[in-house]
Amino acid sequence: MTVVAIHIGPVESGELESVESVRAVAGQGLEGDRNFFPSGAAAGEALTLVELEAVEDVGLPPGATRRQLTVRGVRLNDMVGKRFSVGDVECYGVELCEPCLHLQEMTRPGLITDLAHRGGLRADILSGGTISVGDVVSPAAV
């Protein structure tokens, strides 16, 4: 259950850059990303994650889904409504991040159907810190 890739970028329509680590700011998002909101992110806008297994299954490379974190060995659908951590950063799973027409137009026809209910997770960042490739993703202790 680890982070295998991090992709951020300053503009929605531009290319995303693969980075080894990024600073996560509670309530705002990932620094340097198009979805960083200094005045505060709406629920589920601070962080997006996708399962590597789903990405590979639909024939895309990590980053092509435009999700910020690509993770392996984690059932993200099970994280909706739950706290979890990415390394030392505490997060909360808000809702599924379903594929959209924009993503399909940037990749290939049929992607919306192929990634339905497997497009990832939208999450809030509850406590800041640095997220790095190789960090463990784990459910919060209850």
pLDDT one-digit tens code per residue, 60-111: 888 888 889 999 999 999 999 999 999 999 999 999 998 777 777 777 787 7
Q: Which residues pair with 6 in a beta bridge?
A: 19, 69
pLDDT of residue 108: 78
Q: Name which of 19-23, 100-104, 109-113, 127-131 the model is least confident about.
A: 100-104
Q: Is the pLDDT of residue 37 over 70?
A: yes
pLDDT of residue 116: 84
Whether the pTM exceeds 0.85: the reply is yes
Q: Is the pLDDT of residue 32 over 60?
A: yes
Residue % of the chain over a pLDDT of 70: 96
Question: Which pairs count as long-range contacts for 8-16, CB under 8 Å and 24+ apart, including other chains?
Answer: 8/32, 8/33, 8/34, 8/68, 9/33, 9/34, 10/34, 16/63, 16/66
- DSSP 8-class letter at 14: S
User: What is the architecture, at CATH level 2, of domain 2-139?
Assistant: Beta Barrel (2.40)
Given pLDDT bands bounded at 50, 70 and 90, which one contains residue 141?
low
The answer to whether 48 and 68 are in contact (CB under 8 A) is yes
